[in-house]
């Protein structure tokens, strides 16, 4: 078989949630962010596993993404929508019983006109300039909004994975000044914010990447493993090259394995001749450019011909791979293609 094997440990994800939940006080509710199809790992399966672990609050980016969760869990969970109530969303918000986080006066108007009396939350912008009502906009509607009893008011930190960044305290102050004394349920922190400490926790936290084993939650369990079958092995002479563009050239007689996965499977071209894969505990260098469906690997130093090589394993996590690719663990996860043979385990 010439497709990679991607193993996803659902128990690892729920253990990560439990560990994050324990970092805040008991009265703080820990939600779970399962946008982008559960960071590429299957929102329905991930949500089901997290539900078993105790999660009752889920967040997705777009209303359509909630369908996968409602298929698994019909009752007693809230599903919040970061993008709020967009034109065309009214029916799905109603039918799937979703809670849009209203981002503007426009969205607020749409919600109260099309679904009067239906639940909603409010997203505030405290400096990231991405989503949410600005302080002046919030001032104008706040009194009216309070009478409608929003489920949640939230904001999002721009630099929470850099604990010393002054933006964190600045956004905290702005969030407090916009919401103190209103007696509404509040949420400010994703994974990074949880690690900043209790001042940042408020009533609900919203971890995403930490559930899936990524930075900045360095105590997390790795939850995926990616093993790639070797399709062919050949010996090459000094001066011969490997792959498109002839960018890798043998300095010594070399043995090259052609491995089944490429940029169509989320292995970025930026790891060409730079990334590493593993034969058990032995590291091997990628040789030449990443192709669409394959990569070349220098296995000259191995004492045997491997059947498979691992690119995400206990020796190399998503952040290690991200570092070599010049990106972040989030992008590695959400780029994993649909071609892998996916195996879900709970152990
Ligand atoms: C993605 C996202 C989260 C989760 O962030 P992580 O860094 O993955 O924990 C939380 N809140 C908002 C608004 C987001 O966009």
Q: What is the pLDDT of residues 269-311, one digit of tens each?
A: 999 999 999 999 999 999 999 999 999 999 999 999 999 999 9
- CA angle 255-261-266, nearest 5°? 135
- Is the bond leading into 180 cis (omega within 30 degrees of zero)? no
The per-residue pLDDT for 168 is 98
148: nearest Cα among 117, 179, 124 = 117
- pLDDT digit string, tens, across residues 156-167: 999 999 999 999
The per-residue pLDDT for 172 is 98
How much is the average pLDDT of 165-177? Answer: 98
Rg of the chain in Å (alpha carbons): 23
The per-residue pLDDT for 196 is 98
Report the separation in Å between the CA atom of 199 and the middle of ligand 1, taken as the mean of its atom positions.
18
Region for 51 from its dihedrals, namely left if φ exceeds 0, alpha if ψ lies in -120 to 50, beta otherwise: alpha
Look at ligand 1, atom 3, and give the residue with the nearest C-alpha: 190
Report the separation in Å between the CA atom of 82 and the middle of ligand 1, taken as the mean of its atom positions.
9
Report the separation in Å between the CA atom of 166 and the middle of ligand 1, taken as the mean of its atom positions.
19
Return the structure tokens found at 270.
């930026």
Report the separation in Å between the CA atom of 206 and the middle of ligand 1, taken as the mean of its atom positions.
7
Cβ neighbours, 10 Å, residue 266: 23
What are the extents of the domains in the chain? 10-212, 224-345
Domain spanning 224-345, CATH architecture: Beta Barrel (2.40)
Look at ligand 1, atom 10, and give the residue with the nearest C-alpha: 190
What CATH code would you report for 10-212? Answer: 3.20.20.10
Return the structure tokens found at 79.
């599903």
Q: Is 333 in the pocket of ligand 1 (CB under 6 A)?
A: no
The per-residue pLDDT for 74 is 81
Q: Which alpha helices (H) appear in the chain, and where do they start and end?
A: 10-21, 35-39, 43-53, 66-72, 90-95, 105-114, 135-147, 166-179, 191-196, 318-325, 329-335
Q: Which alpha helices (H) appear in 82-205, and where do they start and end?
A: 90-95, 105-114, 135-147, 166-179, 191-196
Q: Is 132 in the pocket of ligand 1 (CB under 6 A)?
A: no
123 CA closest ligand 1 atom index: 13
Q: Which residue has the tokens 């994974």?
A: 191
How much is the average pLDDT of 78-107? Answer: 98
The per-residue pLDDT for 1 is 76
Determine the Cα–Cα distance for residues 307 and 78; give it in Å rounded to an integer.
45
114: nearest Cα among 93, 144, 99, 97 = 93
Contacts of 166 (CB under 8 A, 6+ apart): none
61 CA closest ligand 1 atom index: 15
Residue 347 pLDDT level (bands cut at 50, 70, 90): confident
How much is the average pLDDT of 255-263? Answer: 98
- CA angle 170-176-177, nearest 5°? 90
How much is the average pLDDT of 80-108? Answer: 98
Q: Can you tell me whether residue 212 is helix, strand or coil?
A: helix
Share of the chain above pLDDT 70, in %: 100
Global pTM?
Answer: 0.97
The per-residue pLDDT for 224 is 98
Q: For all residues of the chain together, what is the average pLDDT?
A: 97
- pLDDT digit string, tens, across residues 2-52: 899 999 999 999 999 999 999 999 999 999 999 999 999 999 999 999 999
Determine the Cα–Cα distance for residues 142 and 206; give it in Å rounded to an integer.
23
Q: Is 193 in the pocket of ligand 1 (CB under 6 A)?
A: no
Determine the Cα–Cα distance for residues 270 and 286; give it in Å rounded to an integer.
11
Cβ neighbours, 10 Å, residue 114: 15
Same fold, 10-212 and 224-345: no
The per-residue pLDDT for 127 is 98
């Amino acid at each position: 078989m010439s497709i990679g094997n991607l193993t996803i440990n659902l128990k690892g994800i729920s253990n990560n949630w439990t560990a994050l939940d324990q970092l805040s006080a008991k009265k703080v509710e820990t939600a779970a962010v399962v946008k982008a199809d559960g960071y590429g790992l299957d929102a329905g399966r991930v949500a089901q596993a997290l539900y078993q672990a105790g999660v009752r609050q889920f967040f997705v980016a777009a209303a359509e993404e909630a369908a996968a969760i409602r298929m698994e869990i019909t009752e007693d969970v809230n599903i919040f929508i970061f993008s709020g109530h967009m034109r065309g969303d009214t029916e799905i918000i109603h039918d799937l019983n979703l809670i849009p986080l209203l981002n503007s006066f426009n969205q607020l108007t749409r919600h109260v006109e099309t679904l009067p009396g239906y639940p909603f939350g409010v997203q505030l912008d405290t400096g990231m300039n991405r989503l949410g009502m600005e302080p002046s906009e919030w001032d104008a509607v706040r009194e009216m909004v309070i009478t409608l009893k929003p489920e949640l008011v939230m904001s999002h930190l721009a630099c929470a994975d850099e604990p010393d960044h002054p933006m964190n305290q600045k956004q905290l102050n702005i969030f407090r000044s916009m919401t103190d004394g209103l007696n509404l349920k509040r949420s400010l922190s994703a994974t990074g914010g949880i690690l900043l400490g209790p001042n940042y926790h408020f009533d609900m936290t919203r971890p995403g990447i930490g559930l899936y084993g990524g930075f900045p939650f360095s105590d997390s369990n790795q939850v995926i493993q990616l093993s790639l079958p070797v399709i062919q092995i050949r010996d090459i002479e000094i001066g011969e090259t490997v792959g498109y563009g002839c960018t890798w050239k043998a300095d010594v007689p070399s043995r090259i394995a052609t491995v089944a996965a490429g940029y169509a499977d989320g292995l970025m071209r930026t790891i060409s001749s730079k990334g590493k894969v593993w034969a058990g505990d032995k590291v091997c260098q990628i040789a030449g450019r990443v192709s669409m469906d394959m990569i070349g690997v220098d296995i000259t130093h191995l004492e045997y011909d491997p059947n498979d090589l691992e690119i995400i394993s206990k020796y190399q996590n998503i952040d290690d791979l991200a570092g070599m690719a010049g990106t972040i663990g989030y992008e590695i996860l959400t780029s994993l293609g649909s071609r892998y043979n996916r195996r879900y385990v709970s152990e």
